[in-house]
Amino acid sequence: MKKKTEKKSERKLGNRLLQAGMVMAAAVILFASMGLPAQAGKKRGAQKAATPLTYGDAYIIKFDGNGATGGVMDDMVLPTGLAYPLETNRYTRTGYSFAGWSDASGNVYNNNQVVQNLKNGRIESRKLAVFSAGFPINQALKFRSTQGSVVFDRNGHRYLAFTASINDPSYYAGDLSHYETAVLLYDLTTGQLVADVHNLNFDHGNSMCYNPDNGHIYIAEGGSLPGYPSGIMELTWDLKAIDSHGFPDLGRAFSITYANGQYFVIGKGPRDGDATTLFRLNSDM
């Protein structure tokens, strides 16, 4: 490992900050579930299992480039107590070499170093980055209601996909005659709209994630209106509908992420009074 000689950034994200030596930084956002039923998820039907995780069972590590000019790193979701190597650094910057990670407490981690229990039991958040994608600066882009979004890299391009809905007041009044949902895909590399799909069968696309292993997008369906599903909708990367996955133990899905080959969802059980819970879905959906 090269000696760290360049002054590190003072950006602080949440309670933990992993800073890359010389160039890059990774923020460790520590995650804990918010309330849990005592009953574990049951596996039924065609392998549709959503398993509630007990308090402290998992936390999320988020990486941040801290001045990197290339590369992207997915979140890691690690069970509490599991010793597991950090993901291989994929951030790059011309003229610099990667020298390792360090956190706000001065702890140093090598590339792929095995870590365990980097958490504090609190939920952390940070502001979202704004992507201009080459849009004219004098043109305002307005959406009545936007929900989930995901940014991913594919074939040398970076894409932004997000869900939106039109005429929310009518929706909440129970009138769907003028209610419309949309999923849009922008190429952030070229600033072009790639796909625009309307009226897929979800009431609100609360959250989205991208699986780089199969190139598919997954939408956490709100399911708050009778007749709409409350599971996970699966699309191709260019927004062609594939399937809608239902889970008997998942009543409403608020958020979804994919990490370490598994899907994690924040949602509620199917019964009135069920607590908001972190679920782990079966890996094959």
Is residue 277 a part of any domain in this protein? yes
Please indicate, yes or no, whether residues 67 and 160 belong to a single structural domain of this protein: no
Is residue 38 a part of any domain in this protein? no
pTM above 0.85, yes or no: no
Is residue 48 a part of any domain in this protein? no
Domain range enclosing 106: 1-31+59-125
Please indicate, yes or no, whether residues 89 and 193 belong to a single structural domain of this protein: no
Domain C-terminal end among 92, 125, 158: 125
Is residue 37 a part of any domain in this protein? no
Please indicate, yes or no, whether residues 169 and 117 belong to a single structural domain of this protein: no
Show the tokens assigned to 284: 């094959």
Is residue 54 a part of any domain in this protein? no
Q: Provide the 8-state DSSP code for 197.
A: E
How do residues 243-272 score in pLDDT, each as one tens digit? Answer: 888 887 777 788 888 887 888 888 877 777
pLDDT < 70 regions, the chain: 1-60, 62-66, 77-80, 101-107, 119-146, 166-172, 174-179, 222-229, 283-285
Strand extents, DSSP E, the chain: 16-20, 25-28, 50-52, 58-61, 76-79, 84-85, 101-102, 108-109, 114-115, 145-154, 157-166, 180-187, 192-198, 205-211, 216-221, 232-236, 241-245, 252-259, 262-268, 276-281
pLDDT at 152: 93
Is residue 40 a part of any domain in this protein? no
Is residue 51 a part of any domain in this protein? no
CATH of the domain at 219: 2.120.10.30
Total domain count for the chain?
Answer: 2
Please indicate, yes or no, whether residues 162 and 114 belong to a single structural domain of this protein: no
196 has which bridge partners?
184
Please indicate, yes or no, whether residues 149 and 260 belong to a single structural domain of this protein: yes
How do residues 196-206 score in pLDDT, each as one tens digit? Answer: 888 787 777 88
Please indicate, yes or no, whether residues 164 and 260 belong to a single structural domain of this protein: yes
